[in-house]
Amino acid sequence: MAPTVLQQKEAGEEDVVVVVVGAGIAGLAVALGLHRKGVKCRVLESSPELRASGFAIATWRNALQALDALGVGDKIRKCHLHLQELQVFSSSTGEMSHTTSLNVQGKRGPNEMLCVRRDWLLRALEEELPNGTIRYSSKIVLIGCDGVNSVVAKWLGLPKPSYSGRLATRGLACYPGGHGFDPKFKMFFGHGFRLGVIPCNDTDVYWFFTWSPSEHDDDALAKKKQFVLTKLRSAEIPAEVMEVIERSDAKHVLTAPLRFRPPLSLLLASISKGNVCVAGDALHPMTPDLGQGGCAALEDGVVLARCLGDAILGGGGGGAESERIEAGLREYARIRRWRSAELIGTAYVVGFMQESSNAVISFLRDNWLAGALHLVLHEANHVEQAAVPGRREALPDPKQLDELDGHHGDIPRRRGAGEDAVVIVGAGIAGLAVALGLHRKGVKCTVLESSPELRASGFAIATWRNALQALDAFGVGDKIRKCHLHLQELHVFSSFTGEMAHATSLNEQGKRGPNEMLCVRRDWLLRALEEELPEGTIRYSSKIVEIEEDGDAKILHLADGAILRAKVVIGCDGVNSVVAKWLGLAKPSYSGRLATRGLACYPGGHGFDPKFKMFFGHGFRLGVIPCNDTDVYWFFTWSPSEHVSVIDTLSRMNKKFVLTKLNSAEIPAEVLEIIERSEAKDVLTAPLRFRPPLSLLLASISKGNVCVAGDALHPMTPDLGQGGCAALEDGVVLARCLGDAILGGGGGGAESERIEAGLREYARIRRWRSAELIGTAYAVGFMQESSNAVISFLRDNWLAGALHRSSMQQKEAGEEAVVVVGAGIAGLAVALGLHRKGVKCSVLESSPELRASGFAFATWTNAWQALDNLGVGDKIRKLHLHLQELHVFSSSTGEITRRADLTVQGKRGPNELRCVRRDWLLRALEEELPKGTIRYSSKIVAIEEDGNAKIIHLADGAILRAKVLIGCDGVNSVVAKWLGLTKPSSSGRLATRGLAHYPDGHGLDPRFKMFVGHGFRAGVIPCNKTDAYWFFTWSPSEHESNGVEESAEKMKQFVLTKLRSSKIPTEVLEVVERSNINDVVASPLRFRAPLSLLLASISKGNACVAGDALHPMTPDLGQGGCAALEDGVVLARCLGDALLGGGGAAESERIEASLREYARIRRWRSVELVGTAYVVGIVQQSNNAVISFLRDKWLAGVLAGRLLKMADYDSKSVCIRTKPFASMQQEQADGREIVIAGAGLAGLAVALGLHRKGLRSVVLESSPTLRTSGLAFITWTNAFRALDALGVGDKMRSQHQQIQRLNVMSSATGEIVQEIDLRAQGKRGTHEARCVSRTALLLALEEELPRGTIRYSSKIVSIEEDGNAKILHLSDGSTLRAKVLIGCDGINSVVARWLGFAKPSVDIMGTPYPYGMGNVCVAGDALHPMTPDLGQGGCAALEDGVVLARCLGDAILGGGGGGAESERIEAGLREYARIRRWRSAELIGTAYAVGFMQESSNAVISFLRDNWLAGAL
């Protein structure tokens, strides 16, 4: 007995994730696809070896694309003939009725067809699988690829395949010496049969014969070759075809009945169930009349490998593996169901037509239908291009399987045939950069290159940091870095003296991170860009001679006579641009200078240091730069005199001229040797031209759907080394602007209008940048080459560094959007919060590295909420102990005066305290930020205003321009001073802090021990198992303050002396004694007076402060760092929303309003913390007998309570988003919760909308899991807009196919009465419709919500009022108290009934609010149950969610002015009701009327509907 899978595992075999049944084409394709995705599988084959049922298969383009994706396409092509023609003959007359090329251009490229031997194909697939994947002589069930008589299909309940009433005989004829046939597919039909002959390769010919047997046909004879020959001799069949059949050996002839699965049964059947599915003939047995059986099996393999592979590898987020696998197989079934039904049905019809001997059908077929039937064959192999890959190269990379997305939504990845969507003129750096940028966006383009191959004008380019950033964006940055040297220094020499005038590091810190420079070979760069483009993107030898307009399109006339029609034209055709000329740009001007460039090759290595050496003076500029270990690039620019203005164009003369000029200057011998070594073919001379900056500022860079980029836009002199770099910048910007426009981003307008607006935006961005580069390069070149004595002296002795900085600064162009000053806790929290919102910022830190002022700080509940919101809470928790208790001791008596549980339940959940190491926290925040966000050694010395911008002057002389300035620069804040905040006051106290290390563990309990009295306050807190933090604060007398602060050793001894004079436990003293001198610091305690903070300007225009720059305070509450984290989250939310475009005002106004809102939220919180901390500190340290008695006997508890109360801050003010459900319960009991009844579409949409606004809610779902009422629903444009607003639109699009057309048919006549394009242009953009799985949508919404938002098995049974709150009684006996109650609990809504809805209606708010219903409303089916005739039930629920989240969110967050929160909530819900009332009424009424009209059998209504009303409906 064969061992089971479990027994195999117990026997020590590796765990197998997937079992595939059947080692046929489908089975091996699935296995190889999963192997490419990195998923291990086992193939069980019942036979003892690979078995080919049949001899060959017609392999069309779709199958070859699938084989390419599996990495075996080229292997198959090499051993089979590429068929050129299909010839269709009538077997009645012997005449050819139709012929067609099999290489004709299809919708997605040229067609391709081979006749592939089955055994060779199976072997090719098997060879790519790991040894042992296939287990022969095995029968088990999981993924069924086990053919027509599939065990798996039977288990799934699929109906048994039906007999078509036809038989097929197939054979293979072998010609060892070669058959000599042309590579043509010959097919004969009529006389009740179909015959085909197809050469496989040079020695094998495959043939097939299908027919419908009559009763008198001998069954035994029918299975023999002689029967076929007998049937054929009665028809007009050529002798060479008969000879193929006669030549076939008996063992190479097989006869089998043709069976198929009826399409309708396939549409209704279960293709997958749980973790079981079928593929290949087990799924779609079909007649062979389309030649698509094996092709479809390969399609199945690729699609199933992608869906199942992604599920097993965990893509897509939540759910257990079993749930993901089930969802993956459902997705596979969805994709393949309609494709399979279409193929089966079409094949059956085609076979019937081809074999019919009916006179009428034969006449039509032979004289008219032959071509139509051929087109059907072609269309069958043209699946939606996402179904199989559009490229030919083999794809061993598993990521490529993601492109095999059969019918996987209508994501715009490739543009269809017809007119070329985007035509780029010129395959230089700019042209290929734009093309690759658009390709990365999913937009197809064509690049026209006048040369017959890629051409590099010049040998190398200086590639600065801006260009490398662009290359990184294109995905080729690392490829370029690997093959070029990273240059370290720039050395500038005077050619008069030979001395170095300036040296600078090329890796120094720039505004956006360290600089970077390579010298990149142009040909290598062009090749790297070309390799990333789809094959066929570049069309060589295609020179534009003329451009015409035709409506919104451009007609391009090429030199070879071809004509193209383009939706967009982008000119990247260099200095002499045809496109630029058409746009009216001025012809580039001659600069009066020439440049000679060359490349020297050292096969054995050049040995030069990675340095850029530049020489200027004597009227020339020379540079030498190593590209890699073997190539050195050099350039020489000069202004020719009249008698040498025309130079012999021979490279040899060019080189000699350069050497002659250099021999008259002080140039090192090794530099001259580089030029001498250059071969003649590697030296070029050209005039330097540029476009005057003023003409560029006034010119049309874009006009309608035409623009220019690269040298066609900004030809410039090479003195900044920015020509190629700027071309790459153009590529990134243009791809983004144009890609977004074509893909429909940005809302309304026809596509042509969006394209025009996108190109205008590109022109706006690049115009000033280009003018600046051109002008600066011209000025720098003039200075560098001048031989004037005064200019030479200034240049060599002073300007060399300035000229270099001009070059370097070009890489830092553009103002900084947001500048944060200070990389402390507040600064990094703000930066990370903005990064989480998708807003880029720069952080300026005066120190050369991260600096922690102090060693650790008490991190209370409010800080943990902020850290969770920033996404680093768990990372920090793992490294620190959770403190359990606070023990407050009297330092006078040594007794515990107060014990407090630090995990006690607060208003918003259990409290939490850890002592966090500052350096670890700063590092954790830094690691989450993009590289280069923090700019070190950048100290602000002055701030100026320039309109809406702030000009920031740094100590190193650099100047920044900021759109927003945020001061997080500590107690001595420059920004706070600029805002006019008062200088922090001295509290009259000092603090000493230290850290003790115990490498073997300290053994201290997780308790916070604090000692108060005797004029000091001391505390010891363990951070983790090896570190303990301590602090000591006191009010020094005159003689105590002298000299103590100057020495850490003196300070430590002073602390020990003070502690030993009190009742302090030995283990506490030992912590202080153990501290290293380097781990002890002392500082005065300062604070900002609360009254001054109330009156001060926390923000002014686009500047504000946070952290200690806002609220310096004494440490007596342990809230300094915690409040800084609160600031960071609140400021990131307010500012992020403003920058991301909320509202209709200008950006500057939105920024100013957001900073005012931040100041409003934080002002009173800061005042409360500062004031409370000051008072608590005075009481705790006091030596006064009365205060000491009160503190020790009574106030200790009050003071401990203040610590917990200050930490229990209103989380909504800090936009917390990830708090677990357990911590919500107390908040609910206090009536501070938003409760949503029902986790359907409306409920989850409302919850996610509120979450996006920074508000938390609880969703009560009566079921134990998510529950879908219905399997799917039509999701129209309005719903996708709502899903986009909720942030899940693209996820849904990627999983569901776009519906192209609506066909309205009469069930009486079967005729189409109306056909509607569902992608037509609407008022607000292109329409969109998909049939979305309800389960998939609910899961997508759930995954975006914080964990614990949904509370399952929670059914509301009754609702009571208690003031402004609602008391909810649940079926499990528990009670909740809600601030807001939203009923999304469906047609039988408890909330709607409580509001007074007697039956479904459009009355939203029920009885007016004086009856106590102000904070309750309904949404979704609880509001507007409707008939499904408009397909708007689910769509309207999503609309409700977005509108309600906006109205309620704005109300709770304080938008809209004054009033108590309850009044704002009530007003918000009234506004929601006003918006949705008429919309709901309109939808319900229209749906009812449409349904009545559509279903009526009344003769008059039916006539009107079919002939007139169909379109209106």
Strand, coil or helix: 393: coil
Calpha distance 949→960 (Å, rounded) = 10
Strand, coil or helix: 248: coil
| Residue 445 CB burial class (10 angstroms; 0-12, 13-18, ≥19) | buried
Q: Which amino acid is at 1026?
A: T
Calpha distance 1465→1473 (Å, rounded) = 12
Cross-sheet strand order for the sheet of 1416-1418: 1350-1351, 1257-1260, 1234-1237, 1380-1383, 1416-1418
- Residue with tokens 């779902």, as numbered in its chain: 1261
- Could you tell me which residues are beta bridge partners of residue 611? 489
CB-CB contact of 1300 with 1318 (8 Å): yes
CB-CB contact of 207 with 227 (8 Å): no
Strand, coil or helix: 1365: strand
Cα 595 from chain centroid? 43
As a dihedral over the C-alpha atoms of residue 496, residue 500, residue 501, residue 504, rounded to 10 degrees, the angle is 150
Q: Which amino acid is at 1080?
A: V
pLDDT digits (tens, 9 = 90+) for 1198-1242: 555 555 565 556 534 334 333 332 333 333 333 347 999 999 999
pLDDT value of position 924: 92
Task: Retrieve residue 128's tokens.
Answer: 């790519």
Calpha distance 158→161 (Å, rounded) = 9
Q: Which stretches in the chain have pLDDT values below 50?
A: 1-14, 139-141, 316, 382-418, 644-652, 746, 798, 800, 803-814, 1211-1232, 1401-1412, 1456
Calpha distance 853→858 (Å, rounded) = 14
Task: Retrieve residue 464's tokens.
Answer: 């600065």
CB-CB contact of 1084 with 990 (8 Å): yes
pLDDT mean across residues, the chain = 81
First to last CA, the chain: 65
pLDDT value of position 953: 85
966: nearest Cα among 1124, 1087, 1079: 1124
pLDDT value of position 191: 74
- Residue with tokens 């001048």, as numbered in its chain: 786
pLDDT digits (tens, 9 = 90+) for 364-406: 666 555 555 555 555 555 444 333 333 323 323 333 333 333 3
pLDDT value of position 832: 93
The vertex-332 CA angle with 330 and 333, nearest 5°, equals 65
The dihedral sign for the CA sequence 438, 442, 446, 449: positive
CB-CB contact of 429 with 526 (8 Å): yes
Characterize the bridge pairing of strands 885-890 and 1325-1326: unpaired
| Residue 527 CB burial class (10 angstroms; 0-12, 13-18, ≥19) | middle
pLDDT digits (tens, 9 = 90+) for 1324-1336: 667 888 998 888 8
- Could you tell me which residues are beta bridge partners of residue 185? 86
pLDDT value of position 1327: 82
- Residue with tokens 């060879």, as numbered in its chain: 127
Task: Retrieve residue 353's tokens.
Answer: 């037509």
Calpha distance 811→408 (Å, rounded) = 41
Q: Which residues of 1409-1426 are buried (b: 16+ CB within 10 A; e: fewer)?
A: beeebbbbbbbbbbbbbb
pLDDT value of position 694: 85
Characterize the bridge pairing of strands 446-448 and 538-539: parallel
Calpha distance 1237→1357 (Å, rounded) = 11
- Say which residues have a Cβ less than 8 Å from residue 808's Cβ, sequence separation at least 6: 464, 504, 510, 515
Measured CA to CA in angstroms, residue 975 lies from 72, 640, 819 at distances of 64, 54, 11
What string of DSSP letters covers 491-544?
EEEETTT--EEEEEETTSEETTEE---EEEEHHHHHHHHHHHSPTT-EE-S--E
Calpha distance 806→813 (Å, rounded) = 11
Q: Which amino acid is at 506?
A: L
Biggest distance spanned by C-alpha atoms of the chain: 127
Characterize the bridge pairing of strands 905-906 and 909-910: antiparallel
Q: Which amino acid is at 1184?
A: N
pLDDT value of position 367: 57
pLDDT value of position 907: 66
- Could you tell me which residues are beta bridge partners of residue 746? none
Calpha distance 942→974 (Å, rounded) = 8
Helix-helix angle 1147-1181:1120-1139, to 10 degrees: 170
Task: Retrieve residue 821's tokens.
Answer: 């000053």
CB-CB contact of 396 with 38 (8 Å): no
CB-CB contact of 1271 with 1311 (8 Å): no
Cross-sheet strand order for the sheet of 1375-1378: 1356-1362, 1365-1370, 1375-1378
Cα 1378 from chain centroid? 37
